[in-house]
Amino acid sequence: MFSPFSNLHSSYYDAYDPYQAQRALQYRRALARQHALEAERARRAQMYQGSPYLPDEPDDLVDEEDWAFRDALQRRQAYEQRMEEKRIREEHARLELLAKEEEQRREKLKQEQRSRQAQNRHYRPSHSPPRSRSPHEIHIPTNSPPTTSVSERSPLLPAEQAQPRYTLEEQHEAASKLQKAWRAHIALSNLRKLEKEFDDLRKSFKLPTVVDFQDPNQGIISVTVPDDLPDNTADDVPKLAYNQTNYSLHSYVEALNRFLIRLDGVESRGDANVRNSRRCIVGRVEKEANSIEMFGKKVWATHSVNTVPDGQSSSDSDS
């Protein structure tokens, strides 16, 4: 390992080495980053060891099973992917605009070349010497009308009067429409991917058979989910306990919240199709989250019906 103090000079008047100072600064920065990383790992390991509401996990897998860290990493990757797609779209638009300008320039050069060729043919002087007429030749006039050349009948316009096919405003408008259509296509593609992921998650999720509630007076109350849940719901429902029994429920609700955040990250940019598609998918995700909340209320309602209040006998309850 490189040490910043291995090549120090004993004299204060030695020549200053900028490369050595730069290497020492890099070494100190790397050492500080390593210390910060080790402190963060120790803090996370201590947090997981002291939490009674999460399932037991090995210490060496704490960092790998940290869902908050993975969620932040996925958001970072999604943001970088959006930035890369945006850069690619802008580069495509710029190349299309340059191609159009190059095509117009070539068309203009062709028109100018054709105009100069036509003018050269019309005004080209004759270099052949005049043919001497024999003294015995007699010119006999005919009744045929005089012929005129093509250049005399329809002279071409000069190159300065040739107009381009499209104006600069029309080119910018066309490029803007192409860019808007491409952005809408990318947004719809991302929405379709998110909808497929949501459908796969909803199909793979299974409702638990036992639900634990955190009652402030009685502590944790475990309620077995019946086969047929009632239609009515309870009003005063305690919170779900954060333990291993309710791990699947909390994970599913957290996944639905992450889907809503990812859907908010898809920008419509004024496109109606993108906005309507995103609104439809957001409605489906929110409906699924509400169904999980109603499931908890119905389970607690069955517990309230089956529980006999204190001071009341079983015969009174049967009557």
Q: In what order do the strands lie in the sheet with 239-240?
A: 219-224, 210-215, 239-240
- The confidence score (pLDDT) of residue 160 equals 47
Quote the Cα angle for 205-208-212, to 5°: 135
Lowest mean pLDDT among 60-74, 103-117, 185-199: 60-74
Closest CA to 242 of 54, 95, 51: 54
Predicted confidence at residue 319, as pLDDT, reads 38
Q: Which of 37-46, 143-152, 161-170 has the lowest mean pLDDT?
A: 143-152
How would residue 150 be classed by pLDDT, with cut points 50, 70 and 90? very low
What count of Cα atoms within 13 Å lies in the side-chain half-sphere of residue 155? Answer: 8
Condensed to tens digits (0 to 9), the pLDDT of residues 211-264 reads 888 888 878 888 888 888 777 777 788 888 888 888 988 999 999 999 899 998
Residue, of 44 and 178, whose pLDDT is higher = 178
Instruction: Report CA 305 to chain centroid distance, whole Å.
Output: 49
Cα–Cα distance, 295 to 225 (Å, whole number): 10
User: According to the model, what pLDDT value does residue 315 have?
Assistant: 42
Mean pLDDT value of segment 99-116: 90
**Rounded to whole angstroms, what are the CA distances from 30 to 3, 39, 297?**
12, 14, 53
Quote the mean pLDDT of the chain.
Answer: 76
Q: pLDDT value at position 130?
A: 53
Label residue 311 by pLDDT band (50, 70, 90).
very low
What pLDDT does 48 receive? 62
Can you tell me which residue has the tokens 């005004």?
A: 123
Q: How confident is the model at residue 86 (pLDDT cuts 50, 70, 90)?
A: very high
Backbone angles phi, psi at 231, to 5 degrees: -80, -30
Q: Chain-centre distance of CA 211, in angstroms?
A: 37
Rounded to two decimals, the pTM is: 0.44
State residue 4's pLDDT score. Answer: 52
Residue 302 tokens read as 């069955």
Q: Which two tokens stand for residue 212?
A: 């634990």
